[in-house]
Amino acid sequence: MSSSNIFNFVNEIVIECGVCNYVFPNFQAFVTHIEAHLIQEILAMEVSPIDGTKPFIKLLDKPILSNVFFDDHDDLDLSLKL
């Protein structure tokens, strides 16, 4: 590394992670680090007390009470027309 590169590195604005207080020399390294925090957060989701599964899709925790696509099943014609 030449002396000019060291000089430029020292004068760059450093960015600190608010989660783990790690300091980064550039924005790209910071973004990559934050993405790692997000992945860890997703993997550490709470386990459901009902069946022990992880709620990857939170909407599935709600029961499906009716079919929202077909309210009246009599209107659906499934006969084969030739």
Proportion of the chain above pLDDT 90, given as a percent = 6
pLDDT digits (tens, 9 = 90+) for 22-71: 888 888 889 999 999 888 877 767 676 677 776 555 555 555 566 566 55
DSSP 24: E
Provide the residue count of the chain: 82
Largest pairwise CA distance in the chain: 81
Global confidence as pTM: 0.41
Q: What angle do CA 18, 57, 51 make, to 5 degrees?
A: 105
Collect all residues with Cβ–Cβ distance below 8 Å to 53 and sequence separation of at least 6. 47
